[in-house]
A and B are shown apart, each in its own frame.
Chain A
Amino acid sequence: MKRLGVDLLVGLFVLLGFAALVFLALRAGNMSSALGLGQTFAVSAQFDNIGGLKPRAAVRSAGVVVGRVTSIGFDDQTYRAQVTMELDERYEFPKDTSAKILTSGLLGEQYIGLEPGGDVEMLAAGDSIQLTQSAVVLENLVGQFLYGRAAEGSRQ
């Protein structure tokens, strides 16, 4: 009788531990979306400058998350950044969809925003998005602003 009690308690402890692990992976972590997204197709795009974009960043269209960035590389033929992303297969985008790198909030994370075009053909797996717009790099902005001021000053 006592034997059974010990076994039961130990079994309960082990189950509780595994339940905690599952909770951490599914509720606190992104296991459900990482594995649940399942049906995705890969699309690539080239950017002049990706700023602070990181792998696993969100791909959004109209603010809704429709995919994730899977990998970021450098293409030494075009000297541009090569970004591969996985889009949810439930959604279709026209072939002339444009991609730009946006920032959520002033200091937030960077993500890719997709703007659908008007083509009748749809993006398929392995396609690349042609129309891209780089991330806004703060240093470049400041530089442009300063040069602009200097040019104004010399004109006066």
Chain B
Amino acid sequence: MIRSLLMPARLLVDFVAGVGQGALFFLRLCLLGLASLRRPRLVVDQVHFIGNYSLSIIMVSGLLVGFILGLQGYYTLRQFGSEDTVGLVVTLSLVRELGPIVTALLFAGRAGTSLTAEIGLMKAGEQLDAMEMMAVDPVERVLAPRFLAAVVSMPLLAALFSALGVLGGYLVGVELIGVDAGSFWSQMQAGVDWLDDVGNGVIKSIVFGFTVAFVALYVGYRAQPTPEGVARATTTTVVASSLAVLALDFVLTALMFGAY
């Protein structure tokens, strides 16, 4: 009886403790991530694995999203006779929102899951325990370089996504439909501010990089060391980091562009 009455309190305590653990782990990853600059080899290997292997999916998706935005923007803007602004519409939506978000979602699916699965399997195979036995901190040796690599890769991938999207919009808008190339670019340059729009987009992608990398590594590190546990952890990574990215984006957009 008393136990069931205390249940909510127990849950609350567990929740707060979980938040505390997560925050501490995040701080530790940040500090050790910086410290892992002393082992650049490990970080470069991870950037290769996380960044380079994500290039193809990010670039192709960016191009396709640009195509779609160009086509859809053109159909809508044509009703107002302002199809010249299609470049501006494509670029603003990519740079401000879609670039960072879609890249983060793809990044969570492509790189986040592999990080979680890798860490989870290392834990299931007791490799992390073995490291601890040899007085090597697995967080410092295994997790921190991956964290730093993911944080570095994410903004670069988002910038590539947006740039390819702009090119996609150009291909559809100018080459396919026949919007005037001059006004396509000049409208874009008149409406896109390099600091307010491009800069804030980069800040967003950096924040999302931290988010996805942290969720992937934390979930992997805390996974049940069983096959089902690793499977569940991989799913959790995608779900949790996608939701976190979308929720954070709402907050960031309200903060950055709320004044308009």
- The interface of chain A, by Cβ under 8 A from chain B, is 6-7, 9-10, 13-14, 16-21, 23-34, 56, 58, 107
Given A13-B51, A30-B194, do A20 and B160 touch, yes or no (CB 8 Å)? yes
Q: Do A9 and B193 contact each other (CB < 8 Å), given the known contacts A14-B156, A21-B202, A28-B188?
A: no
Taking a contact as CB atoms closer than 8 A, the residue among B80, B95, B153 that contacts A24 in the complex is B95
**A99 shortest CB reach to chain B, Å:** 20
Given A9-B52, A24-B95, the answer on whether A29 and B159 have CB atoms closer than 8 Å is: no
Cα A13 to Cα B164 in complex, Å, equals 14
- Which of B41-49, B112-120, B126-134 lies at the binding interface? B41-49
Contact of A27 among B47, B55, B157, B185 (CB under 8 A): B185
State whether B162 touches A20 (Cβ < 8 A).
Answer: yes
Which of B159, B164, B195 has the largest number of chain A CB atoms within 10 A? B159
B binding-site residues for A, Cβ under 8 Å? 44-45, 47-48, 51-52, 55, 80, 91, 95, 153, 155-157, 159-160, 162-164, 166, 185, 188-190, 192-195, 197-198, 202
Give 19 A-B contacts (CB < 8 Å), ordered by A residue. A6-B48, A10-B44, A10-B47, A13-B47, A13-B52, A17-B157, A17-B160, A20-B156, A21-B202, A24-B166, A25-B194, A25-B198, A27-B166, A28-B166, A28-B192, A30-B194, A34-B195, A56-B193, A58-B190
Q: Say which residue of A9, A21, A107 sits within 8 Å of B159 (CB atoms).
A: A21
Q: How far is the CA of A81 from the CA of B9 in the complex (A)?
A: 58
A107-B82 Cα distance, complex, nearest whole Å: 10
- Provide the bound-state CA to CA distance between A39 and B95, in Å: 29
